[in-house]
Amino acid sequence: MQYNVFGVGNALVDIQAQVSDATLEKLGYAKGIMTLVDEEAQQKVLGELDGAPISQCAGGSAANTILGIADFGGKAAYAGKVASDMLGEFDLADMRKLGVTIEVPPASEGHTGTCVVLITDDAQRTMLTNLGVSATLSVDDLNEEHIKQSEYVYVEGYLFTGETQKQAAYRAIELAKKHDVKVAFTVSDPFLINLFREEFQQLIEGPVDLLFCNLEEARSLTGKQDAVDCAQVIHKHVPNLALTLGPDGSILMHEGRVIPIEGVETDAIDTTGAGDMYAAGILYGITNGLTWHQAGHLASHAAARIVSQLGARLQRPFTKDEIQELLS
């Protein structure tokens, strides 16, 4: 196989900024959740950040995971739409320098999507997302040959918020199944379950081979409270499950077995991308000869490392020796 994973998602440039609670209050957004905003509102927010410490990188949920896989040394491709503007050029260059294959032609009009991540002192992240042209990703942007040459197709739930992206998501899954490629799906956000419960349920009971979700999402999907109960209910429908529990680690379900994965103690300063990096560890692991338990162990350490820094990209990627040490 040419690729371990082919990702499909909203291509965004992540702009992270550390802000005070007072600034967040002034902007008027609810702490800790993701809000979709228009371009005008996004520019207003950026104007308020003058002087705040800022970093930017190629982002979007599935892109973060794909970049994480590349960082581990895996082989990855990605489908996401950017514009022919400075941020679009930055996004493509940022992904390609890590070796990610991305061949979707940029949109000739419109602007590249952005996700402004406002990080407060309590490590909460408040995300303001302007999708820009990422919302125009369509079935025509998918490379069937790349999907065919992948072990997994990885689809983010955020794609379901727009009709053309949703069709692209369904088409990617369809092409994966046509070529015997496994499908991984991340629920992405609890609010999406309320909007697309029936569609997500059909995916979980149908083509999805590996589901990623957190405890809040699992509770919403199953109506259960206990993490193991949630995991077992979901595992009746999906062959493999990765259920994250924040600092308490995670639960993997594989071949009917509950595989508990320990949490890794760390000082969290920014939880942005924790779930995305966890997914990267699992997907890299199971496509590169690791057992499910080893993949979970790597994923747990990767998530801990990402929350101990600013931003969704590892400032200090794992070396081959570090990975070997973790697995021993």
Q: Cα 242 from chain centroid?
A: 13
Axis-axis angle for helices 292-307, 320-327 (nearest 10): 120
Mean pLDDT of 79-98: 96
Where are the strands (E) in the chain, listed by range?
3-8, 12-18, 34-36, 54-59, 76-79, 112-119, 125-132, 150-156, 182-186, 210-214, 240-244, 250-254, 257-261
Confidence label for 55 from pLDDT (cuts 50, 70 and 90): confident
Confidence label for 269 from pLDDT (cuts 50, 70 and 90): confident
**C-alpha to C-alpha distance for 60 and 63, rounded to whole angstroms:** 5
Domain extents in the chain: 3-11+61-106+135-327
Give the distance between the most distant pair of CA atoms in the chain.
Answer: 52
Which one has a higher pLDDT value, 268 or 243?
243
The CATH class given to the 3-11+61-106+135-327 domain equals: alpha beta
**C-alpha to C-alpha distance for 33 and 189, rounded to whole angstroms:** 9
Q: In what order do the strands lie in the sheet with 3-8?
A: 76-79, 3-8, 150-156, 182-186, 210-214, 240-244, 250-254, 257-261
* pLDDT for res 268: 86
Q: In what order do the strands lie in the sheet with 125-132?
A: 34-36, 125-132, 112-119, 12-18, 54-59
Least confident of 3-12, 63-72, 302-311: 302-311
Q: Cα 320 from chain centroid?
A: 23
**CA proximity to 150, closest of 67, 95, 72, 75:** 75
Question: Residue 121 is encoded by which pair of tokens?
Answer: 């002192």
Model confidence at 87: pLDDT above 80: yes
Which one has a higher pLDDT value, 269 or 242?
242
Model confidence at 68: pLDDT above 80: yes
C-alpha to C-alpha distances, 60 to 28, 115, 206, 291, nearest whole angstrom:
23, 8, 25, 28
Paired sense of beta strands 3-8 and 76-79, if any: parallel
Contact predicate 64/95, CB 8 Å = no
pLDDT in tens, 312-324: 888 899 999 999 9
* pLDDT for res 271: 76
Model confidence at 231: pLDDT above 90: yes
Model pTM? 0.92
Confidence label for 110 from pLDDT (cuts 50, 70 and 90): very high
pLDDT in tens, 130-188: 999 999 999 999 999 999 999 999 999 999 999 999 999 999 999 999 999 999 999 99
Model confidence at 124: pLDDT above 90: no
* pLDDT for res 51: 80
Which residue type is seen at 124?
Q
DSSP 266: -
**C-alpha to C-alpha distance for 72 and 67, rounded to whole angstroms:** 9
